[in-house]
Structures are given as structure tokens and as C-alpha cells.
């Protein structure tokens, strides 16, 4: 099981949102120089939290009867603009 799946299984969406806020607000996680806003460890953690939140959102949509297709097809069948 991946870390994102572990976060999904152990925490609710509200807990994950609070965790995401804590990580982004912590000054120790801010990058000192360069283009990146966060340190690499904080960036990885935020990415995993975001993936777990997406899993919760996908489950909520499926429970409401409107699942999102995961094949990547957008529904547009024409290249004409």
C-alpha cells in the first residue's frame, strides 16, 4: 500500500486538510532559495496529502452516483475549433 493510500485509510478529509495547512504554514518547510516554495521533503508530503484528499473526493462522488471516469477521456470527439 502506498503512503497516499495509507493516509487515505487512516485520516478523514478534514484531518488531511488540516494536516496540509499545518505543513504549508510551518516556516521550517519553506525553501530558503531557488524557485521551489517548499523544501523537497515538504513538497513530497504535500503531494501525498493531496493525493489522499483526491481519493476521498473520488469516493464521495462515487457515493453520490456520479463517478468521474479515470480513463482520461474528456468527451470531446472533434479536433475542430
Task: Give tens-digit pLDDT for 6-50.
Answer: 999 999 999 999 999 999 999 999 999 889 999 999 999 999 999
Helix (H, G, I), strand (E, B) or coil at 38: strand
Structural domain harbouring 46? 3-63
Residue 58 falls within a domain, yes or no?
A: yes
Q: What is the pTM of this model?
A: 0.79
The whole-angstrom separation of Cα 60 and Cα 80 is 35
* Domains identified in the chain, total number: 1
Residue 57 falls within a domain, yes or no?
A: yes
Residue 46 falls within a domain, yes or no?
A: yes
The whole-angstrom separation of Cα 62 and Cα 58 is 6
Do 23 and 53 contact (CB within 8 A), yes or no? no
Residue 72 falls within a domain, yes or no?
A: no
Q: pLDDT (tens digit, 9 = 90+) per residue, 44-64?
A: 999 999 999 999 998 998 898
Residue 75 falls within a domain, yes or no?
A: no
pLDDT at 80 over 80: no
Q: Which residue has the higher pLDDT, 25 or 67?
A: 25
Residue 73 falls within a domain, yes or no?
A: no
Residue 11 falls within a domain, yes or no?
A: yes
Amino acid at each position: 500500500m502506498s503512503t497516499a493510500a495509507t493516509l487515505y485509510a487512516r485520516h478523514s478529509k478534514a484531518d488531511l486538510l488540516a494536516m496540509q495547512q499545518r505543513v504549508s504554514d510551518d516556516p521550517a518547510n519553506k525553501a530558503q532559495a531557488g524557485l521551489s516554495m517548499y523544501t523537497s521533503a515538504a513538497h513530497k508530503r504535500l503531494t501525498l496529502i493531496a493525493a489522499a484528499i483526491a481519493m476521498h473526493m473520488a469516493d464521495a462522488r462515487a457515493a453520490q452516483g456520479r463517478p468521474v471516469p479515470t480513463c482520461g477521456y474528456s468527451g470531446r470527439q472533434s479536433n475542430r475549433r
